Amino acid sequence: MMDGETCCPKFDPAPWDEKTFEWQDKKFIKGRVFTLFYIPLNFGSVIKALYEKVKAAGAAIPDDLCLSDHTSKWNMDIYLAVDKDIPGVENVSLSGKFLSKVYEGPYKNTDAWCRDFESYARAKNLRIGKWFMWYTTCPKCAKKYGKNYVAVVAGVNEN
């Protein structure tokens, strides 16, 4: 918790908007969220449990980065960035070239954002591999901040 009114840090889109990153074994811990037609049902409880594991291990969450992988209408895997291995959870790492672009607005715009991201990658002569969505704040904090930023982050290769 950040304060009595917000639980999510304010997001600065500049370091993530239209950027390319090279990650080499970037550490994450993985959790699974149940969804109903892509709408997360237990995201809050899953993320809180992961945060508790990170805290207990004395670890940090670089950039407060939490990537979501919508694997089906019924499941979403989340990847919480960490600075070291965390006991008691699934530790994974990501490597490669990643492209990111930040969008702002209601979640109903996700399909349009994804189409735009595909065009953006094509214009850079990049082929998209694994996609992730980064919902940078919860709905309550987005309302408080007046902005609902969502970043698309995807592994990419040259065409």
Residues 22-44 have pLDDT tens digits of 999 999 999 999 999 888 899 98
Any domain includes 77: yes
Looking at the structure of the chain, the number of domains it has is 1
| pLDDT at 131 > cutoff 60 | yes
Any domain includes 6: no
pLDDT for the residue numbered 2: 46
Q: What percent of the chain has pLDDT over 90?
A: 86
CATH code at position 55: 3.20.80.10
pLDDT for the residue numbered 38: 85
Q: For residues 108 and 121, what is the distance between their CA atoms, to the nearest angstrom? A: 22
Domain residue limits at 119: 19-158
CA triple 110-131-143, angle to 5 deg: 40
Any domain includes 9: no
Any domain includes 12: no
Any domain includes 121: yes
Residues 51-88 have pLDDT tens digits of 999 999 999 999 999 999 999 999 999 999 999 999 99
| Three-class DSSP labels, 18-66 | CEEEEEEEEEEEEEEEEEECCEECCHHHHHHHHHHHHHHCCCCCHHHCE
Any domain includes 61: yes
Pairing type for strands 149-158 and 19-36 reads unpaired
Any domain includes 10: no
Any domain includes 86: yes
Please state the pTM of the whole predicted model.
0.91
